[in-house]
Amino acid sequence: MERLDKILSATGRWSRREVKLLVKQGRILVDGRPAAAPEQKVDPAAMEITVDGADIGYRRFTYLMLHKPAGVLSAVEDKRQQTVLDLLPQELQRQGLSPVGRLDKDTEGLLLLTNDGDLTHRLLSPRYHVDKVYYARVDGRLEPSDCQAFAAGMTLGDGLKCMPAGLEILGPDEALVTLQEGKFHQVKRMLAARGKPVLYLKRLSMGDLQLDEDLQPGEFRHLTAEEVALLQR
Ligand code: URA
């Protein structure tokens, strides 16, 4: 059970002060009866809560899929530069969402945003072996020996040991890279270590979740219940 004002303000649509007023005006109904007070304890999973007759559509956590465009930081806030949170409407910005891992400023593609900290941890921890697949275009010619080096687990010039990774060559300078970890600039550093610096990078999937091709760069949508279940597996 949670306080009614906490539930309503977590949707990002009303502030706690507004909830107080709505309660006073009798516009919030809990299981068909006017809410008694903002502090009233309710169970949003079991009770019907409406404002002006409309269900509040409460979900404990929010899960968004964003097609991150190049030029935007994977951060919650930044004094000078635009962040992925700036791409969302105000009501979603107030929900305490964070990106699940970082994509570099110039990297595009699938970025999840959620306020479900447990899921974030599981998706990012190498222990859970969640594949992240990237499309990369490089300056150079990819060869089978690059695939072998990726599969063997590379050690980079600065001593960073990488887990075995996938490199599937699509064309002379194009490949799919599959990682189960996400160290700083990892794809770029691995390919640079092979003498083939990355020119373009886009994340296509994370676990079973694929970037929705209908989303243009900068667009987002809520995950469906099925997609959330895929990630929870
Ligand atoms: N690897 C990189 O080098 N950059 C990214 O943005 C993601 C993975």
List 43, 55, 78, 104, catalytic entry: 104
- Say whether both 81 and 92 belong to one domain: yes
Do residues 118 and 166 share a domain? no
In this structure, the answer to whether residues 67 and 43 fall within a common structural domain is no
Pairing mode, if any, of strands 198-206 and 108-114?
parallel
Residue 201 lies in domain: 131-206
Q: Kindly report the protein residue whose alpha carbon is nearest to atom 3 of ligand 1.
A: 185
- How many A from CA of 108 to the centre of ligand 1? 9
Percent of the chain with pLDDT over 70: 100
User: Are residues 49 and 92 both part of a single domain?
Assistant: no
> How remote is the CA of residue 100 from the centroid of ligand 1, in Å?
13
**CB 187 near ligand 1, within 6 Å:** yes
CATH of the domain at 135: 3.30.70.1560
Question: For residue range 8-27, what is the model confidence (pLDDT) as tens digits?
Answer: 988 878 999 999 999 999 99
Q: How far is CA 87 from CA 8, 72, 101, 219, 221, in A?
A: 23, 9, 17, 8, 12
pLDDT for residue 214 is more than 80? yes
| 131 catalytically annotated | no
Summarize pLDDT for 95-144 with one digit per residue, the tens: 899 999 999 999 999 999 999 999 999 998 888 889 999 999 999 999 99
pLDDT category of residue 60 using cuts at 50, 70 and 90: confident
pTM of this structure: 0.82
The structural domain count of the chain equals 3
Identify which of 92, 91, 4 has the alpha carbon closest to the alpha carbon of residue 51.
4
pLDDT 10s digits, 167-211: 999 999 999 999 999 899 999 999 999 999 999 999 999 999 999
- Report how far ligand 1's centroid is from the alpha carbon of 131 (Å): 14
